[in-house]
Amino acid sequence: MPEDAEGTAELPVGIGDRLEARFVDQAGNEQRTLWPDAARGVCLEECGPVRRFPVRHGKRMAPGWWWSATDGRLVHYASGVMRTQVMLLDHDPSVVALACRPVDLGWREREGVWVRHAPHLMARLADGRGLLADCAGHGEISPRLAARAAVMEAAAAAVGWQYRVLRPPDTVLAANLRWLAGYRHPRYRGGELAGRAAEVFRRPRPLIEGVRELGDPVQVFPVVFHALWHGDLSAPLDAPLHERVNVTAVPQARGQR
């Protein structure tokens, strides 16, 4: 059980087989089945949101859409906090697909109350497993989410998946990735220039030195930033990015998703 879910009641045995999964298939039709059948037989990352995030007047919420460089799709988010988590998953090389609320899980608690929960995000991992995730704000998660997180973790474990409550990342890391994300689109890939960048940064060297060797910084910087986002180049992202930061090329097998 994750740290966030401590203190919740013990889960019923076989909870995974008692959950109902509701999703919207690729034809736009709502479907219902048992959770193990949905997890193992449905490409949930291909499904649309089973619930959208509403605009609530008077609330400091700003729903929007994030274009995912991972699979070229739009991922829904409800707030800036959630957008940051979508960005982190999009940057994670172990993630091969992202989806917003593609499944809604329902179960009956011991008191007979019917409960439904749609995790904020779902990701498909490179090893084929799925990841369900809820995004937490800056404070402690509510008892309501903690209780549901325990059920989500049990449901994920029952089918070999993972579940996480995503906390806000380090502010410097988030700021660096937010900057690099501005260059995640393929239009910044650079073609032949990207290949030259891999050679120029074959050994670690200050960013500005390699950029100037490659040519006009106005043309080169976007290509280098694109490569840093996608993992073809590497730099320490836990410290502020600057022109003297050391950059090095990543072997192709590691840089590719």
Torsional class of 224: left (φ above 0), alpha (ψ -120 to 50), beta (otherwise): alpha
In this prediction, residue 139 carries a pLDDT of 67
Q: Which of 5, 4, 1, 39 is nearest to 20 (CA)?
A: 39
Residue appearing with tokens 């619930």: 51
Reported in sequence order, the residue ranges of the chain that DSSP labels E, i.e. its strands, are 20-24, 30-34, 64-67, 74-77, 95-100, 104-108, 114-117, 121-125, 130-135, 162-166, 205-206, 233-234, 246-249
Query: Rounded to whole angstroms, how far apart are CA atoms 77 and 100?
Result: 7
Average pLDDT over residues 200-205: 96
* φ and ψ of 75, to 5 deg: -115, 130
In this prediction, residue 117 carries a pLDDT of 95
Question: What is the chain's percent helix, strand, coil content, to nearest 5?
Answer: 35, 25, 40
pLDDT digits (tens, 9 = 90+) for 156-166: 999 999 999 99
Residue 10 has pLDDT above 50, yes or no: no
How far out from the chain centre does Cα 226 lie? 18
Q: Which of 225, 245, 244 is nearest to 233 (CA)?
A: 225
Residue 241 has pLDDT above 50, yes or no: yes
Query: Using the 8-state DSSP alphabet, how is residue 48 labeled?
Result: B
In this prediction, residue 2 carries a pLDDT of 35
pLDDT digits (tens, 9 = 90+) for 99-130: 999 999 999 877 778 899 999 999 999 999 99
pTM of the predicted model as reported, rounded to 2 decimal places: 0.87
Q: Which range has the worst mean pLDDT, 3-12, 115-124, 217-226? A: 3-12
Q: Kindly report the number of other CB atoms within 10 A of residue 18's CB atom.
A: 15
C-alpha pair distances (Å), 111 with each of 9, 106, 115, 196: 12, 14, 11, 65
- The type of residue at 160 is G
Residue 230 has pLDDT above 50, yes or no: yes
